[in-house]
Amino acid sequence: MHIHREGYNIIGIILLICVTIIATLNYFFPTQTWIHYLIYLNVAGWFIWTISFFRVPHRKINRFEGNVISSADGEVVVIEKVFEPEYFKDERIQVSIFMSPFNVHVNWYPVSGVVNYVKYHPGDFLFAKNPKASAKNERYSIVVKGNDEKEILVRQIAGWMARRIVCKRKVGDKAIQGEAFGMIRFGSRVDLFLPLDTDIKVKLHQKVKGQQTVIASL
């Protein structure tokens, strides 16, 4: 495991705030009480959580041509046939994965191929489980054309806590199944839009792991 570079500045700022809180507390109230220890515990918990949020696990990638693996850690909250109006403009199977603030928030390519489309959309910050979040929230859409010529749209969606989506990819980039393409900070969701003939392998409310859980078979 290592820490994502997007977290370096935030971790540094949080550390400075934590040190300032403790130093200020002890300057004005030098006598140690149970309140001090409670504050120390909360400050330490906040700092540890911040570090853990930006963790990047080192996992064995479950690569297999024809399979769609999970782009995120979290819970499957949507499996349904929908009309996808942005890129495909036809019906697709949508599988949505909700990431709580305690999940890993790195996002990985579900298949190998070439990036055919990348678009950023500004928007609202509705709770990520809200069905309207896919169309109304701040989001990034990426389409990967697989080696089998089938296209999959991956949509990063900011939640009510999330205020930054990281996606430094462009059209023409090579996509390798299981490799990271971005992350979303502080609570969010990833939508996958798959062809209608896809064989879905997960169930609603199932916990999934990025790079490992097979979401579907093409």
Predicted local confidence at residue 137, as pLDDT: 72
Q: Is the pLDDT of residue 208 over 70?
A: yes
Report how far residue 12's alpha carbon sits from residue 27's, in angstroms, rounded to the nearest whole number. Answer: 22
Q: Which residue has the tokens 């055919």?
A: 116
Which residues, in sequence order, are CB contacts of 100 under 8 Å at separation 6+? 74, 75, 187
Report how far residue 26's alpha carbon sits from residue 13's, in angstroms, rounded to the nearest whole number. Answer: 20
Q: Which of 8-12, 23-27, 75-79, 205-209 has the lowest mean pLDDT?
A: 8-12
Q: Which residue has the tokens 């995120």?
A: 72
Report how far residue 25's alpha carbon sits from residue 37's, in angstroms, rounded to the nearest whole number. Answer: 11
Q: Is the pLDDT of residue 132 over 70?
A: no
Check if 188 is active-site. yes
Query: Could you tell me the pLDDT band of residue 83, with boundaries at 50, 70 and 90?
Result: very high
Global pTM reads 0.82
From residue 155, alpha-carbon distances to 5, 107, 217 in Å are 22, 10, 19
Residues 20-76 pLDDT 10s? 999 999 999 898 999 999 999 999 998 988 887 777 778 999 998 899 999 999 999
Q: Which residues pair with 55 in a beta bridge?
A: 3
Q: Is the pLDDT of residue 133 over 60?
A: no
Handedness of CA 129, 133, 138, 143 (dihedral sign): positive
Q: For residues 56 and 123, which has the higher predicted lDDT (pLDDT)?
A: 56
Handedness of CA 157, 163, 168, 171 (dihedral sign): positive
Predicted local confidence at residue 53, as pLDDT: 74
- Burial (CB < 10 A; 0-12, 13-18, 19+), residue 104, is buried
Q: Mean pLDDT of all residues in the chain?
A: 87
Neighbours of 107 (CB within 10 A): 27
Q: What is the mean predicted confidence (pLDDT) over 101-115?
A: 90
Among 96, 134, 141, 188, which one carries the catalytic annotation?
Answer: 188
From residue 32, alpha-carbon distances to 27, 39, 114, 123 in Å are 11, 11, 59, 47
Predicted local confidence at residue 164, as pLDDT: 66
Q: Is the pLDDT of residue 204 over 60?
A: yes
